[in-house]
Structure 1
Amino acid sequence: MPDDPRLGVRSFPHVFSPGGIGGLALPHRIIMGSMHLNFESNPQALAAFYGERAAAGAALIVTGGAAVNREGSGGSTYLVSAEKPFLKAARSALEAVHDAGGRLALQLFHAGRYGFQDTYGLQPLAPSAVWSAYSSVLPRAMNESDIARTVQDFAAAASLARELGFDAVEIMGSEGYLVNQFASPLTNLRDDEWGGDAERRQAFPLAVLAAVREGAGSGFPVIFRMSGDDLVEGSGPPREHLALAAALARAGADALNIGIGWHESRTPTVQALVPHGSWLPVAGRIRRNLRGQGLSVPVIGSNRINSVAQAEAVLTDGTVDFVSMARPFLADPRILAKTEAGRMDLVNTCIACNEACIDRSLGTEPVSCLVNPRAGRELDYPALRLTGRISGDRARAAVVGGGPAGMQAAATLAAAGIQVVLFEAEAELGGQFRLARLVPGKADFDETIRYFSVELPRLGVKIRTGFRAGAVHLAGFDHVLDATGVLPRAVRLAGSGSVPVLDYHQAFADPAALPGRVAVVGAGGIAVDLAHLLLQPHALPRSGPESTDAARARFAREHLRDGTAQPGGRCVTLLRRGGRIGEGIGPSTRWAALQALRSAGVRLYTGVSYRGLAPGGLEITAAGGTEELIPAEAVIVAAGQVENTRLQRDLRRAGVPHTVIGGAASAAGLNAVRAFAQGLEAGTAVAQQLAGVTRERKRAPLP
């Protein structure tokens, strides 16, 4: 390996060393983990999604969960083993993955008390009748017949998986689903052979494993995804997880994939505010315990690993044997191929925002990726390879604005062969991502700026920063995409005096200059982010993204302790006319972000009206009608945005062909998911419009 011509292989020798799960030989130590996609019932889309990733080096892909029976379905978009939609999707996905040289493992799934009764009109089943806050249902406690039938359904699903040509199966026994429910004293209240003490709570997981082993047949790899820590009060202590892992290893599991947390847990595990690799020590603890007992079953670790370099570190120190990454394969299907070639700078990094992936998977909207809007839409937006020819240089497009919409539009146009000039008024690309990267837990947003700063020049885009383009500069282009974004919404506050008023751009520009007591008018996502930044005792002098050490200290302070206020930060008050703090933040992140604010003692007001500025602060009328002075030495307005319409008006008057995208088109409901998606959609449409005047693209794509 030291002599390997591939730079990435030399740089990451542990990642790119061969491994095995049972009899399944794998060329490297990265597994593409299971993701429920909400488009499993579309065989063509599923095949395109998995096939593209297998072709780019995802050697073993684990599918989203396939319910072993209808009672075990996780919702209306889940496939059920052996039913026609499942068979069509499975055959299509298998053909695509195998044709690309990859391997596909089927995850065997049963939701238990996390199921939804309205999916098939069936009352969800569970070890005991314990209310599920996640699915708002009281399940029925399983009787002996239910248990026997369910175990057999796992076996039948495994047998069918082998018959169809899957390369392995994974039993979903983590994240609070049925198998995990049997292992937990919180949800297993039985006093029979299936529960009553820690040993009897192992009976159902072991029975499922035995049945799957028998159903799959000799030599067929069986991965067991088990919980390393449920992170819910009243569930099993670490010793029970260690004991179950050892029992599963002795019972013949070919690998243990360690999951963390339940849907009901109030400890963050997958959000951006979780530092990289925070939960890998749990998998490491299980692996050490197994090795101490002479058990050599491979252990797979996951959660907040978003680069091959991070995977290399935990493989090098022996924490785990394999690393499972899911969302990073959404952000960049070619993460392994690019890294193997030594082009880590060209990897589009997952930022753990959850907005287009996990948040959607909890509903019914098809999963995609904020920073890679092609994810899940590979059929609708294949990589463009236009070959029209013209004389001269007529096929030129300008993109004005280097935020999410503009960066994506420029990349899409250039990948199609269009000559692109990107104009950005600031000194750096990124738009509001330049603000977001300063927020605690959002340092990875800087990776998106890094990616486009390298990828756009590679595609031939000419970038002009520090230049405010007007219609006069754009008249010679065949088409202009206006991605000039938004401006802070102004709020008129009566009164005047000693309390300065700033907009959120000004506050982010120099947070160290802000005084100790701050009132924030508005309490949406930007306001919550700003408050989180201002609370950090280490944050005031810094101007760059949060360091790893600072992230770990912040996470421990805000989410792993008792929630008491911490010294060192500012006194911050968030105020909102409406009734919901953090409006617009995705459901998987909002609760964690508010938990961080509350742990630091932030005062949260909703339903207020603003009477005006006064000496010493801001006077309001609170929701109950009482008048109150909010102590503040500065007031920051973060009450939304309005469209920046200057350029589009000028382009219209000058008769320059143009398309308006992102926040400049509409600030209503603006988020980065929409901005990136519009960049892809508009870039594709304009490229197709200009196809007849496009010269053949000669730049060869990298792997």
Structure 2
Amino acid sequence: MSCTFPHLFSSLGIRGHEFRNRILSTGHQTYLAQRNLPGDDLIAYHEARARGGVGLIISEAARFHVSTVSEAPDLALLSDDAIPHYARLATAVHRHGAKLFGQLSHSGRVTRRMMNGMRGVVFAPSSTPENRFHVVPREMPTEMVAEIIASAAQGARRYAEAGYDGVELMASHGLLFAQFLNPAVNRREDIFGGSAENRLRPLRESLIGVRRAVGDGMVVGLRVSADEADEGGLDRETVLGICCQLSEEGLVDYINTTLGTMASLGGSIHVVPPMEIPPAYVAARAATIRAAVSVPVFVAGRINQPQIAEGVLAAGEADMCGMTRALIVDPEMPRKAREGHSDEIRACIGCNQACIGHFHAGNSISCIQNPSTGRELSLPEAAPVAQRSLKVLVAGGGPAGMKAAVTAAEMGHKVILSEASQRLGGQALLAQLLPDRFEFGGLVTNLTTELALRQVEVRLNSRVTRVLVETIAPDSVIVATGSTPVGSEVEGLEGAHVVEAVDVLAGKAQPGTRVVVADWRCDWIGIGLAVQLARKGHQVRLVVNGICAGQNLQQYVRDHWAGKLHEAGIEVIPYARLFGVDGDTAYFLHGASGQPIVVEGVDTVVVASGNVPDTTLERELGEVDVPFVTIGDCTIARSAEEAIYDGVATTRAFLAQVAADVGLSEGPSIMLHQ
């Protein structure tokens, strides 16, 4: 047991199953399924976390009835043919001492149910409109509800025969069973609607059927939103009563609590709460349920550090902590915490970009800080050790350069990281200055720790030039010099107060009282600056060259901040491209119609423009006989995710090529672009 985290690393017993610690990877969509079944990629993903020491893995929701299957790469558990595929996953997880539960889920009305590019038939308890996907579902016939209850039992049996330790029914986040429980959604008049008893019937009978199907040796649990946090959603009193009844009847062995609903824009932020949400904020709700029931209670919601989980457990608020994203960014987090190496843990920063962000973009899961996540087979976290050690010079200490230096050192090379400024971190240092975004700076903290662990030589206030390269005489150069604002080509620029957003963030420019933020980027910069300036007392209008503010952000985060903009009284003007400025007036063109949009009463226009690669060093190295590669923004400006991916994947490929070529022939320099 860890002395530092005694509660976190104490064992927990449920129905004869012993969990080695209280760390839980909750069920979450990965889009790693192959033909709706666990394949090599999904197995490798979960095995990495089991190897890292997690106590319990709950694999993502499997569709157990044909009425909820779509073209998405979700898991399905519709026939006995699936059992061997799930058995492979169970074997891989058990090999490393972790326990494995499987989820059973039906989306009900919370889906467009896309099939062959078209919307399919969506079934729900009643034809109650849904406010996120804009679906009016078809009411399930009574016979279909009975069929779903029977199918849940069969799905659980398949999990049991595959060797799983438990099964979890989902009545969380506004999904089907939650829809039956909610009188605002369930307007049926048969035995599955009307009274509270009838509304509970589908979930209750499903739990009874599941227990009969799996016998006494398997854990049966329930995931539930302690509060759907939405008008018309299930409230905490209703949920508490349901949990108490199911516990008293012995129908559940544990209750896994979360918050929110997928059925609304406002409630969705709680599905995967970002860095703007306080850590462990659901724990108090879980504690209320735990005090009222006789079974263990799990909790999830921004528990991203072992010390946070330890506090929740020590306070008696829950019996197990969901730390899913903490395990996405660092599968070895449990082992590091248990062995007293917490300072080596790569902490989740709650950015949501490559976990739930990839899912909403239709891509498989990853992590901006750990590109190996979701790519365990194609890009394993352990770097291949080079047969020959090279002297590697990395030019630029932003996220791309820092990760490249770490990667090169992991491969066994001698690395010098040279940064022109007095601090490492690049544009991440500016990103953390935006409102409620301070945690983004954790990315720099994590990379700085990795540099120290790999004993990389870091030189600050040291700009890499052709002369410096010739002096150091490295075997290869990795160019990570970043990017700069592309500049604003607008009429009247000389006679108006127009400043770049990065200069405002850095404190190099001071806007006037009446500010227009001209947001070409449609990402964090425009929204963040608008809110920041409003909080400082400026009168702010946000004019966006896109369909909405935050168009390029993960949708839960975008919708959350749309609400923040509204609360702050910030007018948002979409579809507008900056054309010119004249005195106290800014002129925009409508992005679709081309018609003018005139914004008057302006003291300062803050331009959130795009960035252009800094190619200065690249051009100089073209005249030097040294292999080099460009990574990150100096190839093309993107985000921290692509920069860090380049720092791993491009660096590995480039240095492997250089090591293979050194001494073999005299030839021109190698220059690669990824």
Please, what TM-score do these two structures have when normalized by structure 2? Answer: 0.90
Given that residues 51 and 96 in structure 1 are in contact (C-alpha distance below 8 angstroms), is that contact kept between their aligned partners in structure 2?
Answer: yes
Aligned residues of 1:497 and 1:615 also touching (Cα < 8 A): no
Residue 536 of structure 1, CA deviation: 3.1
**Structure 2 counterpart of 1:11, one-letter code:** T
Mapped partners of 2:565, 2:175: distance in 1: 30
Query: What's the CA shift string for 1:464-497, capped at 9, x where partnerless?
Result: 1221111222242222221111111211344468
* Equivalent-residue separation in structure 2 for 1:367 and 1:531 (angstroms): 31
Tell me the residue number matched to 2:370: 372
Q: Which moved more, 1:237-246 or 1:612-621?
A: 612-621
Partner of 1:167: 165
Distance (whole Å) between structure 1 residues aligned to residue 13 and residue 26 of structure 2: 16
- Whether 1:586 aligns to 2:584 is no
Q: Report Cα offsets for 1:586-625 as digits up to 9, x if no partner.
A: 2222121222112101122234454644444545567895
Contact 2:126-2:187 within 8 A present in 1 as well: yes
Matched, 1:11 2:8: no
- Which runs of no fewer than 5 residues in structure 2 stay unpaired? 663-674
Match among 618, 622, 631 for residue 652 of structure 1 = 622
Q: Is the 8 A contact 1:159 1:217 kept in 2?
A: no
Which secondary structure state, in structure 1, belongs to the residue aligned with residue 226 of structure 2? strand
Pair 1:511–1:211, CA change in 2 (3 A): farther
Aligned residue for 2:100, secondary structure, equals strand
* 1:370-393 alpha-carbon deviations (Å, 9 max, x no partner): 111110101011244545545xxx
The AA in structure 2 aligned to 1:36 is Q
Which residues of 2 match residues 98-113 of structure 1 at below 5 A? 98-113=94-109
2:574 corresponds to 1:606 = yes
Q: How many residues align?
A: 646
Cα displacement (A) at 1:423:
1.6
Quick one: which of 470, 475, 480 aligns to 2:477? 480
Quote the Cα distance in structure 2 between the aligned partners of 1:497 and 1:688. Answer: 50
Contact 1:331 1:369 in 2 (8 A): yes
Q: Which of 423, 433, 438 is matched with 1:443 structurally? A: 438
Write the letter of the residue equivalent to 2:497. P
Q: Map 1:508-519 onto structure 2 (within 5 A).
A: 508-510=505-507, 513-519=510-516
Change beyond 3 A, Cα 1:373–1:626: closer
Which residue type is aligned with residue 399 of structure 2? P
Which of 460, 464, 467 aligns to 1:465? It is: 460
CA distance, structure 2, for counterparts of residue 684 and residue 85 of structure 1: 40
* 1: CA distance, partners of 2:234 / 2:444: 42
* Distance in 2 separating the partners of 1:522 and 1:328: 32
Between 1:357-366 and 1:428-437, the stretch displaced more is 357-366
The answer on whether the counterparts of 2:258 and 2:282 sit within 8 Å (CA) in structure 1 is: no
Conserved 8 A contact 1:389-1:693: no
Question: Counterpart amino acid of 2:282?
Answer: W
Q: Which amino acid aligns with 1:66?
A: A
Bigger shift: residues 98-107 or 488-497: 488-497
Give, in angstroms, the shift of residue 347 of structure 1.
1.3
Paired residue for 1:248, among 238, 243, 246?
A: 246
Residue 632 of structure 2 corresponds to 662
Separation in structure 2 between the aligned mates of residue 603 and residue 124 of structure 1, nearest angstrom: 36
TM-score by length of 1: 0.86
* Partner Cα separation in structure 2 for residue 92 and residue 251 of structure 1: 34
Distance 2:576 2:103 in 1: 49
Partner of 1:280: 283
Residue segments in structure 1 that go unaligned for 5+ positions in a row: 538-568, 695-703
Q: Does the C-alpha gap of structure 1 residues 425 and 631 become closer, same or farther in structure 2, counting only changes over 3 Å?
A: farther
Q: Indicate if the aligned counterparts of 2:486 and 2:609 stay in contact, CA closer than 8 A.
A: yes
Aligned residues with identical type, % of pairs: 30
Residue in 1 that maps onto 2:203: 205
Superposition RMSD in Å: 2.5
Query: Pick from 46, 50, 59: which aligns with 2:46?
Result: 50
In structure 2, do the counterparts of structure 1 residues 610 and 387 end up closer, same or farther at CA, with 3 Å as the change threshold?
closer
Alpha-carbon distance in 1 for matches of 2:509, 2:278: 24
What residue number does 1:314 align with? 312
Identify which of 72, 77, 80 aligns with 1:81: 77
Indicate the residue corresponding to 2:33 in structure 1. 40
> Does structure 2 retain, via aligned residues, the 8 Å contact 1:419–1:460?
no
CA contact (8 A) 1:40 1:89 kept: no
Partner Cα separation in structure 1 for residue 627 and residue 30 of structure 2:
38
* Contact residue 128 and residue 185 of structure 2 kept, 8 A: yes
Stretch deviating more after TM superposition (310-319 or 683-692): 683-692
- Deviation readout 1:141-161 (Å, 9 max, x if unpaired): 122221121111111111111
| Counterpart pick for 1:638 among 600, 603, 608 | 608
Inter-partner Cα distance in structure 2 for 1:624 and 1:599: 30
Alignment of 1:80-479 (within 5 A): 80-83=76-79, 86-119=82-115, 123-252=121-250, 253-265=252-264, 266-267=266-267, 268-269=269-270, 270-288=273-291, 290=292, 295-384=293-382, 386-390=384-388, 395-475=390-470, 476-479=473-476
AA aligned to 1:198 is A
Maintained 8 Å contact 1:345/1:451: no
AA partner of residue 102 (structure 1) = A
Give the letter aligned to residue 503 of structure 1.
E
| 1:693 Cα deviation from its structure 2 partner | 8.5
Offset, 1:218: 0.8
Alpha-carbon distance in structure 1 between the residues aligned to 2:70 and 2:301: 21
